[in-house]
Amino acid sequence: MIVRIATRKSALAIWQAEHVAAILRELAQVSAVELLLLSTRGDEILDKSLQAIGGKGLFIKELEVAMLDGRADVAVHSMKDVPAEMPDGFCVAAVLERANPFDALVANDVHSLSELPRGALVGSSSLRRQSQLLALRPDLKVEPVRGNVNTRLQKLDDGQFDAIMLACAGLERLGMAARISEQLNPDDMLPASAQGVIGIECRHDRTDLRELLATIEHAGTKQTTLAERAVTERLQATCHSPLASYATLENGGLLLKSLAASADGRHVIREQITGAVQAAEALGFELAERMLALGAADLLGIEVE
């Protein structure tokens, strides 16, 4: 079997696609793996926020079109960029073992968030990060920063920001771990749903591919991802949403934490739940209901039944 992987053109996306390709090439059923590099609308429009141009799905639509018209067999994504509800006809066939799920503060003149001077300008396009930053440091100024990892780092180095926020996993995968000034504790900065997870998407009707990809899936990461994405789905989270969820496997069970906040960080709801690993998705939905009971709908600006 030849497997054609659709991927975005950024350095991080290509790294992830090559990582998946290397794993697939080890399988006896796979004779060759090819990469199809595509540009997405999310990559092309850098002068507006994701909220303004339509959200996370803009990074994956072109990849799905390539699978529909037969140019590609699978697509590789950062799972935090994949909407909780998959489009009809598509599925996440496998997730790989999670990398570092935490957030990084990147700065050139300080080594931690606490060392940033009052009124410092921090670049982040994530409302989740913004709300938690402002909850910790309401004196900071947070402004959007778009572009790939190298572009954002260059803006920092050019003096446009005093610091920026990025995912640790992306920096580590690109060999840039030395740029991390501080890895933020999840008690201070709860990660995005499925942050650090690589997912492989294919058409639902490709049972041959689904069976193949199931052999490389990481069981533990599958369960934590199911739990976190269930919270996201029930709370109708998009890139507009200051929502975080983070699951870990502990003592034979699953611990799931979630946070919803106002964009200015003044109002924060935190809740957690524990239960059986096999009930990961149900735990996610139950935790979301608890969040709703605490007022999450108002913070997230959603209407729920």
Question: Is 73 among the catalytic positions?
Answer: no
User: Which listed residue (81, 139, 162, 208) is catalytic?
Assistant: 81
- Residue found under tokens 């994405």: 229
Q: Known catalytic residues?
A: 81
